[in-house]
Structure 1
Amino acid sequence: MVRLVLRRLAWALPLALVASVISFVLVALLPGDAARSLLGQNATDEQVDAARHELGLDQPLWTQYWRWLSKALQGDLGTSLINRQPVTGQLNDRLGPSLSLIIGATLLAAVVGILLGVRGARRGVLGKVVKSGSVIGLAVPDFWLGLVLVVLFAVKLPFFPPTGYVPLTEDPAAWFNSVVLPVVTLAVPATAVIAKQCRDAVATALDQPFVRTLRAAGVPERSVVYRHALKNAAVPVLTVIGMVFVAALGGTVAVEFIFAIPGLGSTAVQATASHDLPLIEGVVVYFTVIVIAVNLLVDVAYHAVNPRVRTS
């Protein structure tokens, strides 16, 4: 187990480095200019050139990246080019809203998806419903579902606020109300994926010889399904749950925009539109760390539920 953790951590730095290089280059290739965004469209070319020189944007791209990387390796992600605030402070403030959505959506999707998958694995009408519902759930776009939920449960039936976010430490009840709709928006397609994978994996496990032996020995059906078949199907289900968590990182971009939530996804959009390279690189670093942490937790969970698994 220790060797697994150390091996995964050894890959963390190269992965973060590659991700930062790719994002730096891609953003630099986009049309636009941070100096122009900072000064506005009415600024003269001389003013823009002076601002570019002051911000160091007139230097070669590799020089800009090396300057950022040198500070990042010391724990300093730099300063935003637009609002001149430390990147780390801004992202720490916005990490909570994003994690609230991602963790909440993943937990909701995992619980509902596993329950539907296990029930649907017994085939019959429910199995067909789960299979068809999975296809429909995957086809529903996040932004469309979010808008529908706002209209139904925030406008016509004002059960939840349509936009905004309240920190958990400030008011737990208001926090819960502010994340219900965005969490459900992210969880619907994720639930479809988990339910489909769980249904197939549990159905395969139920066809194995050991299940027939357990049933012949008089083991209760509930125990056969939940203690034995589900445990045997846990590895592929855990893999999908990990993928759902990572996919939710990308889903937060649209969801945070729709519900006006100040998270990492909306920050990435704003930073990209203004060519704020330090802020974009900071978001990439945070996303990369989250992905590495989730993959590590999934690998550890493999060994917890099935010690025979050996992750290379």
Structure 2
Amino acid sequence: MVEGRNRFSTTSATESTLWSTRMFSFILKRLFSGIVVLLTVSALTFFLLYFAGGSIARNIVGDQASPEQVAAKEVELGLDQPLIARFASWLTSAATGDLGRSWFTSEPVAQALSSRIPVTMVMVVTAMLLIGILAALLGVAAAVKRGPIDRAVQVSAIIGDSIPGFVIGIVLVTLLAIQLKLFPATSTIAPGVGVDAWILSLALPVLALVLNGVAGGAQQIRSAVIKQLERDYVRTLRSRGISENEILFKHVLRSAAPAGLTVLSLQLIGMLGGVVIIEAIFALPGIGPLAVSSTSQGDLPVVMGVVIYTVAVVIVVNLVVDVINGWLNPKVRVS
């Protein structure tokens, strides 16, 4: 018996080591593909901005500037160089962490991003944590009870998909900020302010994002839990006398978690694009207003910085979700 137990321990350790090796290889492959995606998106953005815009130098120096002043500005910005040479120069600098300076404000791009990324990320991460918790609770309740909660979740999911997040934001500002004056209508976040200013300024934007996404997440988790409850292994566990709570929380949720995590990751990626309007509504000093203003001006270094940040977040989120799914799902471990 001791020999059998030792053999089982050795087999388990071998499988764990094999899975860890394969997962490490998988992570390296995903990182490599992420770098390829990052380079591809950066190149497309760089070239499209040059072809889509007019005379950037003229926009910077103004309409009253002489041709000589425009030409001098083009030389200063490197716009007199071939397009491929410009991209190679930018890529070389970006690889060392130097994203350049804004063409209009001369502010370092890294500094412009670092002062705005925390606002956006705190808002998005807080909203996603709340969506994840509430969606899991509502989804499981709807799948198990199959009563008023189930119908409420399905109706709310339809309504949530039909109403854009910025509409919910406008309603919240009108009711809770302008009429009831419970929250500031615009952001009071600024360098050196306390935590209370952050909480009051982000409360309504986070609420708008949560209301827009929680019902859809709950609907997906509900479907995943119902699918697992209908599987043969659940009937087998019930026949062995295992309690419903243990079946639900130890087995069903673990098997349904990958589907829920995938949906939440897609919501987070979509939220990164949707916060542009949300931040504009609440006058938040986040990435959204910076992306809009720099794109409209043709401020290439800033636009490229925003693109790199956004694509990097998407790559990291997808990688983390894949790793968690591999840890939760035994089939992924074997394959």
What TM-score comes out, normalization by structure 1 length? Answer: 0.92
Structure 2 distance, partners of 1:48, 1:185, is 45
Q: Sequence identity, in percent?
A: 40
Report the counterpart of residue 7 of structure 2 in structure 1: none
Q: Given that residues 182 and 255 in structure 1 are in contact (C-alpha distance below 8 angstroms), is that contact kept between their aligned partners in structure 2?
A: yes
Amino acid at match of 1:248: M
Match of 1:152 among 175, 180, 189: 175
Residues 288 and 211 (structure 1 numbering): CA distance in 2 closer, same or farther, change over 3 Å? same
Structure 2 distance, partners of 1:71, 1:284, is 16
Structure 1 stretch 243-252 or stretch 180-189: which is displaced more?
180-189
Gaps of 5+ in 1: none
Alignment length (residue pairs): 312
Report the counterpart of residue 105 of structure 1 in structure 2: 127
Report the counterpart of residue 5 of structure 1 in structure 2: 27
Show CA shifts across 1:33-70 (max 9, x none). 43343234554555444423332234333232122112
Structure 1 distance, partners of 2:184, 2:79, is 41
Q: Given that residues 299 and 311 in structure 1 are in contact (C-alpha distance below 8 angstroms), is that contact kept between their aligned partners in structure 2?
A: no
> Following TM superposition, by how much is the alpha carbon of 1:153 offset from its aligned partner in structure 2, in angstroms?
1.1
Q: Given that residues 239 and 298 in structure 1 are in contact (C-alpha distance below 8 angstroms), is that contact kept between their aligned partners in structure 2?
A: yes
Q: Does 1:230 align with 2:246?
A: no
Amino acid at match of 1:290: V
Q: Given that residues 118 and 202 in structure 1 are in contact (C-alpha distance below 8 angstroms), is that contact kept between their aligned partners in structure 2?
A: yes
Residues 51 and 190 (structure 1 numbering): CA distance in 2 closer, same or farther, change over 3 Å? same
Give SS of 2:331's match: coil
Match of 2:148 among 102, 122, 125: 125
Structure 1 distance, partners of 2:167, 2:225, is 32
Structure 1 stretch 196-205 or stretch 172-181: which is displaced more?
172-181
Show CA shifts across 1:212-262 (max 9, x none). 233344433333322222211111111111111111111111111111111
Amino acid at match of 1:29: F
Report the counterpart of residue 280 of structure 1 in structure 2: 303
Counterparts of residues 14-93 of structure 1 (less than 5 Å): 14-43=36-65, 47-93=69-115
Match of 1:171 among 194, 198, 207: 194
Structure 2 distance, partners of 1:49, 1:298, is 49
Show CA shifts across 1:133-157 (max 9, x none). 1111111112211111111111111
Give SS of 1:308's match: helix
Q: Given that residues 249 and 287 in structure 1 are in contact (C-alpha distance below 8 angstroms), is that contact kept between their aligned partners in structure 2?
A: yes
Structure 2 distance, partners of 1:246, 1:278, is 23
Amino acid at match of 1:89: Q
> Following TM superposition, by how much is the alpha carbon of 1:168 offset from its aligned partner in structure 2, in angstroms?
10
Amino acid at match of 2:288: G
Amino acid at match of 2:117: L
Counterparts of residues 189-204 of structure 1 (less than 5 Å): 189-204=212-227
Structure 1 distance, partners of 2:312, 2:130, is 23
Structure 2 distance, partners of 1:215, 1:33, is 71
Give SS of 1:309's match: helix
Counterparts of residues 178-189 of structure 1 (less than 5 Å): 178-189=201-212
RMSD: 2.2
Show CA shifts across 1:92-136 (max 9, x none). 111101101110111111111111111111323322221121111
